Structure 1
Amino acid sequence: MGTEHEGVPLNLADIDASAWRELEAAASNPQSGFRFLNLCSVDAAARPQARMVVLRRADRSLRLLEFHTDMRSQKWLELSANPYAAVLGLSAQTQLQLRLQGTVERHAAGSTQANAAWDRLSAWTRMTYAGGPPGDEVAFDAIDGAALPKPADEAEGKPHFGLLIFRARALDWFQLRRQDNRRALLTYDETGALAAGRWVNP
């Protein structure tokens, strides 16, 4: 099963490796189809909540994805109550969909992990955490950039900056093709090793 058919590797271990290579590359390539991913959590009323997030880092050996967030956001609160989450991405260029299931670890402002991530941010990105809480009501006329209050210093955002580490336990790999779409389900053990995989009907 080490052959390929129309560019799609038939070996499940190869599929796993290629999917994580795509994710690792996306973390440093703003043009990648997987640079922006859909992070889905569950709110207090057991309703699914989805939002787009920027992939900041991926590590295939540990099966983790890193995202940044404002600690005042609803997703931070939702993930504190229920760490189970799903991540969904679709690359229009390759017609590849990746759907991952796993859990999220939160690293709050002031933690070693959050401080290290903050230090890697540009000044412009740091400023995005210095405004009001996400979701707070704002006067419509304040949408004009000139009317918005300007934070005095980018450091004002640091107390609100949180780091989310998503650890995948399963990957649903789906390749769209002109004919004969392909889909595989992969699972990982607690160490991040590929534990099992199988082909399924798309």
Structure 2
Amino acid sequence: MVTMPLDIWSSDDEPRLGVVLDEIWTLLEEGVTDRRHGFHTPVAATLPDSGGAALRTVVLRHVDREARCLRFHTDIRSKKVQDLKADPRISFLFYDRGAQTQIRVDAVATVSHKDEVTAAAWEKLTLDNRREYMAAEHPGEPSAWPTSGLPPELQERDPTLEESEKGYKEFAVVSASFSKLEWLYVCHEGHRRARFDWTAEGELDTTWLVP
């Protein structure tokens, strides 16, 4: 699916911010279902104890407009989970070249492990996806040679359904609820930028920003 850029130059009127926000939600939802979409693999930043920000690419798995929540899957043993347990703040950077759109999201994360959320998500995973959680060692563990971390019997094949269940104990879902979002539309005629803030009561405050 090819996302067309938001056409804000088709008339003398600039788009209303409500239209922009609806476009943002559409792009996020397309990012869940379309692997080729730019929003399918955002960059996520956590705050490690060592200082600075730790960046990595994640796969967007679920979007909830009503709850303003984004989800991705990870290994419970990963460093990002350690970071989030110490400080649940997380930020995302999305960019889709076709839509000429960048989105920045500041959120607070909840890590689910061996609960209803992970059970429901696990049931939807393909066998090759489940295989990703069957490494014997922790992600980021030093190794004397290049390795996938997978056991020898799974190096060149997917696990059976029965075998794959061993990976569930390492499977986690990160749910990131947000109350602040910034949108940037990039084009030759002149960029456009806006911010969306939600209060604790769910009321929305919007404003245009200088790009």
TM-score (norm 2): 0.86
1:125 aligns with 2:125: no
The equivalent of 2:9 in structure 1 is 6
1:197 aligns with 2:206: yes
Contact 1:22 1:34 in 2 (8 A): yes
Distance (Å, rounded) in 2 between the aligned partners of 1:60 and 1:149: 42
Structure 1 outlier segments of 4+, above 4 Å: none
TM-superposed deviation, 1:183? 0.2
Distance (Å, rounded) in 1 between the aligned partners of 2:82 and 2:50: 13
TM-superposed deviation, 1:142? 4.5
Q: 1:198 to 1:141 in 2, by over 3 A?
A: closer
Distance (Å, rounded) in 1 between the aligned partners of 2:53 and 2:144: 28
**Cα RMSD for the two superposed structures:** 2.1
TM-superposed deviation, 1:21? 1.1
Contact 1:24 1:60 in 2 (8 A): no
Q: How many residues align?
A: 195
Q: 1:74 to 1:23 in 2, by over 3 A?
A: same
1:116 aligns with 2:125: no
For residues 59-70 of structure 1, what are the structure 2 equivalents within 5 Å? 59-70=64-75
AA aligned to 1:196 is D
The equivalent of 2:4 in structure 1 is none
TM-superposed deviation, 1:138? 2.3
The equivalent of 2:37 in structure 1 is 32
For residues 75-154 of structure 1, what are the structure 2 equivalents within 5 Å? 75-108=80-113, 110-131=114-135, 132-140=137-145, 142=147, 149-150=152-153, 153-154=163-164
TM-superposed deviation, 1:122? 0.4
Contact 1:186 1:194 in 2 (8 A): no
Distance (Å, rounded) in 2 between the aligned partners of 1:142 and 1:23: 33
1:167 aligns with 2:170: no
Secondary structure (helix, strand or coil) at the match of 1:140 reads: coil
User: Which structure shows the bigger proportion of residues in strand conformation?
Assistant: 1
Secondary structure (helix, strand or coil) at the match of 1:54 reads: coil
Q: 1:141 to 1:94 in 2, by over 3 A?
A: closer
Q: Structure 2, unaligned stretches of length 5 or more? A: 1-6
TM-score (norm 1): 0.89
Secondary structure (helix, strand or coil) at the match of 1:47 reads: coil
Distance (Å, rounded) in 2 between the aligned partners of 1:184 and 1:156: 45
Q: 1:6 to 1:187 in 2, by over 3 A?
A: same
Distance (Å, rounded) in 2 between the aligned partners of 1:162 and 1:70: 6
Contact 1:73 1:134 in 2 (8 A): yes
